[in-house]
Amino acid sequence: MKKIIIINGPNLNLLGKREPTIYGSNSFEDFFKELKSKHSNIELEYYQSNVEGELINKLHEVGFDYDGVILNAAAYTHTSVGIGDAVKAIETPVVEVHISNIHAREEFRHVSYIAPNAKGVLFGFGLQGYELALQSFL
Ligand code: DQA
């Protein structure tokens, strides 16, 4: 069975409550439950942290063993050399996901420290982006 993990960064624990016009009104927990039941043939996990170092630790922990990482590093995407380096350091392929269309927003969101080392990048498809990323590993 394939082992895939979704890793979400800062403020994504507030999905559903946070700026719903940009990020929608569904909680990630509800979306994840549905996704997991649709893909019962995959060992699918979910991890969220607001702490940069914890995200790096999780990438190290899964990055030599799992078949895929779906990473929405949220604001750290645009600032974190450390997370970018971790994505480069690990062996497991990483697909970068953003719920919103980061290229239709402020200029600082157009930069990604993850993209150069990602298998691919999906943005602007809402929560569906996570499912598209999952399909890219199947
Ligand atoms: C985000 C986009 C980021 O710019 C922002 O900081 C987020 C969420 C997205 O999923 O659209 O927190 O990664």
At residue 26, does pLDDT exceed 90?
no
What is the whole-number distance in angstroms between the Cα of residue 102 and the centre of ligand 1? Answer: 7
**Which residues are tagged catalytic?**
23, 98
- 72 annotated as a binding-site residue: yes
Q: What are phi and psi of 10, to 5 degrees?
A: -60, 140
Sign, Cα dihedral of 28, 63, 101, 135: negative
For residue 19, what pLDDT is reported? 86
- The answer to whether the annotation marks 4 as part of a ligand binding site is no
**pLDDT for residue 75 is more than 90:** yes
Mean pLDDT of the 33-54 span: 97
Confidence tier at 20 by pLDDT (50, 70, 90): confident
- Residue in 68, 94, 71, 63 with CA at minimum distance from that of residue 10: 71
Q: What is the pTM of this model?
A: 0.97
pLDDT at 98: 98
Domain extents for the chain?
A: 3-136
Residues 42 and 8: their CA atoms lie apart, in Å, by 19
Regarding the domain with residue range 3-136, which homologous superfamily does it belong to in the CATH classification?
Answer: Dehydroquinase, class II (3.40.50.9100)
Measured from the CA of 78, which atom of ligand 1 is nearest? 4
Selection from 43, 88, 39 nearest residue 67 by Cα: 43
Structure confidence at residue 22 (pLDDT): 85
Give 38-43 contacts, CB < 8 A, sequence gap 24+.
38/131, 39/134, 41/1, 41/2, 42/1, 42/2, 42/3, 42/4, 42/134, 42/138, 43/1, 43/2, 43/3, 43/4
SS3 (DSSP) at 82: helix
Please state, for a pLDDT cut of 70, what percent of the chain lies above it.
100
Q: How confident is the model at residue 50 (pLDDT cuts 50, 70, 90)?
A: very high
